[in-house]
Structure 1
Amino acid sequence: PIPEGGFPPIHRDDPESMLRGMAVDWMREVWSDAPNTDVFVQVFNYRYSEDDVLNGRIAENLRWAFEQLSGEQGFDVVPPEPEDSTAARSRTLPSIWVIRGLSPRATTHAIARGYWSFPTISFAALPRTAPMQSWLFTLEGFLEGNEEKIRAAIMRTLMEDEMQQWLMTMLATHPAYEGRSIRRALTETLQSLRVETMQLSNGTHLASVFIRPPTRSLREWRRWVAELRTRRYRSFAIGTGRVRNVAQCAGCTSVAHLTHLCPFPRIPGWNG
């Protein structure tokens, strides 16, 4: 069953991060398919493997699951394939599977629910084109997990003159704000800034930071976020936040929480 309030989102450090390390031929082949006939699949607790028995079992379970949820047969279940230059132990080895050859109805149905958990396999069903991401980074170094003070430290950077101008330039070309006041768009974007804190067993405070994307340009978003990830966030009340190295949850691959804090295993009926 879908939990009250919906499933937790899988946050990524880049909209295209799920395709890192994937063979160009794999991507070219998949993108040659007709629109709305493919579903990307992030299998829970899966990392790229050349264990044929494991991959065969996953393929069999995915085929059964998609037959159940779509009522269709004859589609292809395709494992990830790394680029030749990707090191065998690299963190950039791909883990996304793809279901090819579904009807548009089945594709829409699988993606609309998003997350599926069966007795033998649990996975996220994702669209071929990933949306812009709201997750910016995770901070460490603050002496307390006071979300209001951490938010104020981040806002200090976002309120710098050059940063304000950069934001307004991006918002001016954002289709959602066409014909609207850019100042109002800026205010709404800044108001969307959100902080989620957690404390580790050793007492360390971590803060994941989110904001509504101010642009739909992937290139511009990357430039802006790359700049934010170089900064230090000083609160002058609870210390300074430093951007933590990106780490994916081993279960769902989200970058917004640690593996032992993954929310999916705590969802009633989740079989991951």
Structure 2
Amino acid sequence: MLEPLPIINVTKNTTNDPPSSINPKPQTSNRTRKRELLPLTPHRSGAPIKRHASNPTVPSQSEDPFKSQPHVFPTHNFVLNPIPLLTNSQGAPRQNSKPTYKETYSLYPRMDERMQDPPSPSPPTPIQPNETHRTILPTQEPQPTAPPQTYTLATNDTINDPSATLPPTTSLSKRDLSDLDALVANNGVITHSNGLRRTAIPTNGFPIPQLGESVWRNIPPSMKTRWAAKPGPKAWARLYRAFYTEDMSSQAQEITELIKRFTDAPSVLVSTPIAESRPNPSNGPPHHFLISGLSQQAHDRIVNTGVIATETTIILTLPFIQPPPEYLGTLENFSLGDTDNDKRTVAEAVKSALTTNPGISTFVNDHTSRTNPETFPLACNSIRIETLRIRTSKTTNKIVWNVYCDNPPPLPFDKYIQWVKIIKNLNFPTEDFGAGRMRNTDHRGIERQFHCAGCKSCDHPTGLCPLPDILGWLGPAHATEDFSLLDNHPTNPENIRGRGRGQTRGGRSRGRGPRNRGRF
């Protein structure tokens, strides 16, 4: 049975006397001598309760399990107390003076409890007779609960409810480019602190690829539903000169590493697309990877940047709700040039064709809110014309006129593509310079729409991609393209099989003799 001993104050030894002159207890280590005996006082339930040695009103760990008392380091000196005498049940001294594990932790407090500053004393509340004892734990402040998250499915494909309210979309030409490149560019190249070298954002931003198809194209409906339901901010990313293969792991790894280095994000989820059917053509979609798991700040940074170009990897980004392209089509057959007056003449011809065909405005009114009657006039007044000089052969070229709508009507993506197809079937006559036609198909029914193999834009051929012309471009430069890449001349369908690239119909044009290739 344990009996408390009186507290013996220990003073600092300022002499050269041995420690035994201060504490007469022999055979005790310095570590054990620092233990102290706690006075035992009765608890309300009748059980003894351990109290602080210097202030009996301070509760111990067993009485204050949630440590509600403030943790303040005292400035006073500690009082070291002797080890109690351990006795057996008859009161005789125990032969084995070493306390057991249970006795040690029941007699001595924890060090952090000994260092607490005792509060003002408060007498315990006595328990009335015949009163049931209840232990009341400290109440905790209620934690704020986050509002329930709601997710809106993508509105640019047919798996969604067509009557759903469209989320606000912002044209890519209105991206916020402020404070994106705080680092100083050296000849168009920025070097990050982690060693990443990339092309700096131009003054007016990177050229915006004009995608003529949905990012959801050739993706299974089940994957669309799962991807659209992912929480948090999401975005799209594709590689420059992307192509679909059965093994897309290497492309996903490149995108993951570049986004992590660009945003300093600890992790990012890059979801790999799966083709619903065999891509047609061979470099057809799907091309886009879903980016999720980023903070809102990191998400906005990669979306507003648009193009992240390094020496090894180039990715192009899009917001999850795909905005409609500003490009409407390419006009040809005008006897005009590429001056500003010529561009204004073509723009007036386009506006006249849009306003004189009631089906164009009716389609917009049927699929948008009728509360704003200025939607269609605003779209017509924002028509812009840009020219391209393309090759028709190895020695000749011609001028074509790209038509852009800087303020497109707020249509769902699939409806917007239908609206553009209606416009491409119109005639665009002028008084003095002939009638223009959109580049749709030729007399054989072959598609003549531009398609850049690099950025996937449909408003220019591969050889005229504007990205390699940017100052500090770290990606591949313009190759020595032939006229087929500058005008996207398709291969004759009847000659797709049975003939190699550059081969004539008769097969080899050389004999069996040695070619002496590489000799001088």
Q: In which range does the TM-score fall when normalised by the shorter chain?
A: 0.7 to 0.9
The structure in which a higher percent of residues are helix is 1
Q: How does 1:11-160 map to 2 (within 5 A)?
A: 11-14=210-213, 17-36=214-233, 38-50=234-246, 52=247, 55-83=248-276, 85-87=277-279, 89-90=281-282, 92-145=284-337, 146-160=342-356
Q: 1:200 aligns with which of 390, 394, 415?
A: 390
Distance 2:224 2:368 in 1: 32
Gaps of at least 5 residues in structure 2 are 1-199, 441-448, 476-520
* CA gap 1:203/1:116 in 2 versus in 1, 3 angstroms: same
> Is 1:210 the equivalent of 2:404?
yes
> Is 1:268 the equivalent of 2:471?
yes
1:249 Cα shift? 0.9
> Is 1:10 the equivalent of 2:209?
yes
* CA gap 1:251/1:220 in 2 versus in 1, 3 angstroms: closer
Distance 2:350 2:262 in 1: 43
1:224 Cα shift? 2.7
Give identity over the alignment, percent.
Answer: 25
Q: Is the 8 A contact 1:86 1:93 kept in 2?
A: no
Partner of 1:188: 378
* CA gap 1:168/1:65 in 2 versus in 1, 3 angstroms: closer
Q: Secondary structure at the match of 1:204?
A: strand
Amino acid at match of 2:410: T
Higher RCO (CA < 8 A, seq sep 6+): 1
* CA gap 1:118/1:234 in 2 versus in 1, 3 angstroms: same
Q: Is the 8 A contact 1:43 1:122 kept in 2?
A: yes
* CA gap 1:153/1:91 in 2 versus in 1, 3 angstroms: farther
1:168 Cα shift? 7.5
Q: Is the 8 A contact 1:232 1:240 kept in 2?
A: yes
1:56 Cα shift? 4.0
Amino acid at match of 1:67: K
Partner of 1:247: 450
> Is 1:257 the equivalent of 2:482?
no
Q: Is the 8 A contact 2:360 2:423 kept in 1?
A: no
Distance 1:3 1:137 in 2: 26
1:90 Cα shift? 4.8
Q: TM-score, normalised by structure 2?
A: 0.46
Larger Rg: 2
1:3 Cα shift? 0.6
* CA gap 1:58/1:220 in 2 versus in 1, 3 angstroms: closer
The total of aligned residue pairs comes to 259
The structure in which a higher percent of residues are strand is 1
* CA gap 1:174/1:192 in 2 versus in 1, 3 angstroms: farther
Q: TM-score, normalised by structure 1?
A: 0.83
Distance 1:127 1:74 in 2: 19
Gaps of at least 5 residues in structure 1 are none
